[in-house]
Chains A and B, each alone.
Chain A
Amino acid sequence: DTAVSQTPKYLVTQMGNDKSIKCEQNLGHDTMYWYKQDSKKFLKIMFSYNNKELIINETVPNRFSPKSPDKAHLNLHINSLELGDSAVYFCASSARTSTDTQYFGPGTRLTVL
């Protein structure tokens, strides 16, 4: 069983489109995260979310929005895609806080043309 899964694995789209990436965890964790990894492998946290609190990295454009239908899912919706959004996006989860071990999904490679 995959602990943290993401769909799709690859996403190729045109500038200006709106797209979503789905994430699901079956670990019973309280907190989920979205990260962006750029072409130089640099990882930056975008959001962390549990059932009480959404924490947004202030550098993330408001075109990006997390949506959580329930504790096991945290989807990432992106409006008006730009070339600079091309990256690998990772979902992760942890039991409670960011001091707990995080379990990462396999990543979604987004290419904006």
Chain B
Amino acid sequence: AQSVTQLDSHVSVSEGTPVLLRCNYSSSYSPSLFWYVQHPNKGLQLLLKYTSAATLVKGINGFEAEFKKSETSFHLTKPSAHMSDAAEYFCVVSPYSSASKIIFGSGTRLSIRP
């Protein structure tokens, strides 16, 4: 069985400060892990993905995430928040199988204070 838990439903940071969005997962197989971003009234867009290559994954817009197998975590970080980062962020797990079921976390809403 697999699952994904986003530990914070809402994170608020000041512009220019670091961002940390937390995600823990469980999977019976070696999973692929993703972070997607959803801006208001829009579809989802891929930020980055981990597929068993480098454990530190760099994505778009300055975001990165580190895969830590021992902690079963895949936290999303950004050194300096920008107002345009305000959105909903989803951590996603998908095992390495063509007939598998993809699971989305419950989402973390990121707010940026001026």
Contacts and interface: CB of A to CB of B under 8 A. Distances in A.
Contacts of B106: 40-42
Contact of A90 (B43, B51, B109): B43
Interface size class of A (residues with CB under 8 A): 20 to 34
A43 B101 contact: no
Interface string A73-96: 000000000000000001010001
Contacts of B94: 98-99
Interface string B10-54: 000000000000000000000010101010011111100101000
A60 B36 CA distance: 23
Contact of B32 (A4, A41, A42, A99): A99
A44 interface: yes
Contacts, number: 66
A41 B96 contact: no
A104 B36 CA distance: 10
A92 B69 CA distance: 28
B49, B94, B103, B106, most chain A CB atoms within 10 A: B94
B44 A90 contact: yes
B38 to A, nearest CB: 8
Nearest to B41: A107
A36 to B, nearest CB: 11
A97 B100 CA distance: 8
A106 B51 CA distance: 26
A99 B2 CA distance: 14
A42 B43 CA distance: 13
Interface of B: 32, 34, 36, 38, 41-46, 49, 51, 88, 90, 94-104, 106-107, 109
Please provide the 9 A-B residue pairs with the shortest distance between their CB atoms, ordered closest to farther: A104-B43, A99-B32, A43-B104, A97-B98, A104-B44, A98-B102, A98-B94, A41-B107, A106-B43
